[in-house]
């Protein structure tokens, strides 16, 4: 078990962004991506009056985080759910509004470190990549059954892979001989499919394909598209949301939702903007904040992180 799994990314900055809202008496905070509970533990320690609701789709993560958060069991509720299910979870618990929401997107350190999960291209493992292994299609099934056009679209859109067509041509040829089962065969195929020049830059050449498959298998972007607006809608006025993303597709989605909430929606040309068109959100970060050099040196998984924060400043007017 790698020690890096216990290092929450941009932890102090996340706490600072949420702090003004969580100092309220009776504040409720939601950690939408519990993982191993690093951010949640720090929240509970920093804000002794806070009640925590924490979600994760991975039953193994829930069990391990539950052990870690046991000292705070009286004020934490851990729920097996995907983060776009936040409104349903809060309804079940009878909580109409919350003061703080945290998302730490992407794949958890635990999932990367457990060889059997098939997330990491650096070690051979079954091509699974499901964050919840009790449901849905594995990465191997996607590779073996999707039509070539769909695979190209996934690699281009979710992996921003320039050589998607070359890789998919090789995959289609290889799967006709023998279906894919393990990650090492896919990594080798990608290495062989790419032009020499492409292999000299940007780290492991399989990285983009693995990212694309993981996003497809877990429906990450469609879940996120629903989850961020849902979380904003459940914030109390004065409540705050902080979102850590790890690639440009996630960050773009978060940016769009925050920008839409922070802009006025009045028809152009009105001399005075009526209340119902006023912004609902105030941006708390200028663009996306990045981790410092020191943090990246200590925890390489922090390197791609982008943090955005926003505060709810008024109710929706329907």
Binding annotation for S-adenosyl-L-methionine: 37-39, 56, 83, 104, 111
Other Cβ atoms within 10 Å of 33 Cβ, number: 24
Other Cβ atoms within 10 Å of 124 Cβ, number: 16
Other Cβ atoms within 10 Å of 277 Cβ, number: 14
Q: What is the DSSP track for 139-178?
A: HHHHHHHS-HHHHHHHHHHHH--TTHHHHHHHHHHHHHHS
Q: How far apart are CA 160 and CA 105, in angstroms?
A: 18
Which residues participate in the annotated binding site? Answer: 37-39, 56, 83, 104, 111
Q: How far apart are CA 242 and CA 66, in angstroms?
A: 23
Return the bridge partners of 28, or none.
Answer: 51
The CA–CA distances, whole Å, from 27 to 19, 53, 108, 237, 312 equal 11, 11, 26, 12, 15
- Residue located via tokens 């069991």: 73
Nearest C-alpha neighbor of 118 from the set 62, 164, 186: 186
Nearest C-alpha neighbor of 51 from the set 31, 36, 32, 68: 31
Quote helix, strand, coil % in the chain, to nearest 5. Answer: 50, 15, 35
With 0-12 / 13-18 / 19 or more C-beta atoms within 10 angstroms meaning exposed / middle / buried, residue 187 is buried
Residue 128 contacts by C-beta under 8 Å, 6 or more apart in sequence? 116, 117, 118, 138, 139, 140
Pairing relationship of beta strands 306-312 and 235-245 according to DSSP bridges: antiparallel
């Amino acid at each position: 078990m790698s020690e890096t799994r216990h290092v929450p990314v941009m932890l102090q900055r996340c706490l600072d962004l949420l702090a003004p809202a969580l100092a309220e008496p009776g504040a409720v905070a939601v950690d939408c991506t519990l993982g191993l509970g690093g951010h949640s533990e720090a929240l509970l320690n920093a804000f002794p009056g806070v009640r925590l609701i924490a979600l994760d789709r991975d039953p193994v993560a829930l069990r391990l985080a539950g052990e870690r958060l046991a000292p705070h069991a009286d004020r934490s509720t851990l729920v097996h759910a995907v983060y776009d299910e936040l409104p349903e979870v809060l309804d079940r618990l009878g909580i109409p509004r919350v003061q703080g929401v945290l998302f730490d997107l992407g794949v958890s350190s635990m999932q990367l470190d457990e060889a059997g999960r098939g997330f990491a291209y650096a070690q051979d493992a079954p091509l699974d990549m499901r964050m919840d292994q009790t449901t849905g299609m594995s990465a191997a099934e996607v590779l073996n059954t999707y039509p070539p056009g769909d695979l190209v679209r996934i690699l281009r859109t979710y992996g921003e892979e320039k050589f998607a067509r070359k890789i998919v041509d090789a995959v289609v040829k290889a799967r006709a001989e023998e279906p894919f089962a393990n990650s090492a065969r896919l990594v080798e195929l990608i290495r062989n499919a790419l032009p020499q020049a492409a292999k000299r830059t940007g780290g492991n050449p399989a990285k983009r394909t693995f990212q694309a498959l993981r996003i497809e298998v877990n429906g990450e972007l469609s879940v996120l598209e629903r989850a961020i607006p849902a979380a904003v809608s459940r914030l109390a006025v004065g409540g705050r949301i902080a979102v850590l993303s790890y690639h440009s597709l996630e960050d773009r989605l978060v940016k769009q939702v925050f920008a839409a909430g922070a802009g006025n929606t009045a028809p152009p040309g009105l001399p005075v903007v009526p209340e119902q068109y006023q912004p609902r959100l105030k941006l708390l970060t200028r663009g996306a904040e990045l981790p410092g050099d020191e943090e990246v040196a200590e925890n390489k998984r922090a390197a791609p992180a982008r943090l955005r924060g926003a505060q709810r400043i008024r109710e929706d007017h329907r």
